[in-house]
Structure 1
Amino acid sequence: MADSDNSRTLSPVTGGAFHSLLVASLPTCPSSSAAQNPPFDACKDDPAMDAWRVWWTTWGHSTESNQRQQQLERTLFSTNSLLQSDASSRERDYGEALEAEDCASKTAEEAAAAVWQAPAQSIAVVTAKLHAAGTRGQPSPTNQQEPWPQIRAVISDL
């Protein structure tokens, strides 16, 4: 087992891409339900739902930054693209992308803290909080190990 691929862990920098895809695999999520579901409309002035919306936006920025950083990382470390004249520009771009990803990630974490601290006064807010927890914590969007399928099912039910 020591040499198994299953025993490896991903770094926080590259592992973030897995977490960002959870919403795509959810049958229903608060962001898409809001337009179709009257209870979400009733939460327009709810501070907890506002906190979730801020988190959702910052999570999106964090995901985009992570994807850009990973793309530049692949380009930078590709054996076919190690041309000396181009290397310093790519290294600078990669460094900037890494810094942007770090900043976006910290902002998303701060926004998530606001979501956890805001009291839930409706099932819509509870759903939004569960969505945020699942999005942040799931190792991959297709993970079939407990409790992830069950969490996706509960969010769908809510």
Structure 2
Amino acid sequence: MADSDDNTTLPFVTRRQVLAGGMITSTTVMLENSAFAGNEAAMSMPPDPALALWREWQTAHDLTERLCRRQQRLETRLVESVGLPCVTVRLTAGKDVTVHSIEELNEVLGKGPDVAALRQKAEADFAAHQARWDAAAEETRYTVAVKAEREAGERAQDLLEAFSTTPATTLAGVAGKLDAVLREGEAWEECFEFPWPQIRSALNDLARIAKALEKHS
């Protein structure tokens, strides 16, 4: 996620995939409905704390997704109108190099006295471009959008971490835990590598169980 306090961290665009979780969510709901359909004993049991946590997490997760899409739309407009903060410098070999931070500029030029004038001009040009970006970010409320997305994401992350210490007492609660882990993991990692196929397989198993429970309810 973007950090509005670090304006030199680039590229800005698309750190997180926004993924739909409809099939997984419906599995959790299906299992919950199957457990209570015509089952007075289940209805009298205390609420599943994992399931309650999952509902709270899903609300926070959905909010994060909406804010992420909004932030990315604003970000795209900024890139198109202002351009990512950067500066192009010509090295002694005659090669032009574009850098996106002061740190990267120092790595490219070094700190020798022979490039002091070039480095000073490049730093000034970069600062001017960064100032244009910052002004446009404030004007378009991109900075506000980034802050809102970060706060919502941190809330969802706190709830996600709480799953590790929250016991599930129903199959729906187990499905909710797996749902949260899979949807969060797939948003950041390669979806076809361990452990995501295994988690997806476990959720498919639970979906099959839910269907069987519905038939016998």
Do these two structures clear the TM 0.5 threshold for a shared fold by scoring above it? yes
- TM superposition score normalised by structure 1: 0.71
Look up the SS of the partner of 2:21 in the other structure: helix
In structure 2, which of residues 34, 39, 43 is the aligned counterpart of residue 38 of structure 1? Answer: 34
Aligned 1:1-158 pairs, distance under 5 A: 14-16=14-16, 18=17, 20-21=18-19, 23-24=21-22, 28-31=23-26, 33-35=28-30, 37-39=33-35, 45-78=47-80, 81-82=81-82, 90-92=136-138, 93-139=141-187, 143-158=191-206
Over 6 Å off, 4+ runs: 10-13
**In structure 2, what is the Cα distance between the partners aligned to 1:13 and 1:138?**
18
**In structure 1, what is the Cα distance between the partners aligned to 2:198 and 2:161?**
24
For structure 1, which runs of at least 5 residues remain unmatched after alignment?
A: 1-9
User: Amino acid of the residue matched to residue 29 of structure 1?
Assistant: I
Identity %: 33
Question: How many aligned positions are there?
Answer: 140
**Higher alpha-carbon Rg:** 2
Contact 1:22–1:138 (8 Å) recurs in 2: no
**In structure 1, what is the Cα distance between the partners aligned to 2:174 and 2:162?**
14
| Alpha-carbon distance change, 22 to 107 in structure 1, aligned in 2, over 3 angstroms | same
Cα distance, 1:15 vs structure 2 = 2.6
- RMSD after superposition: 3.4
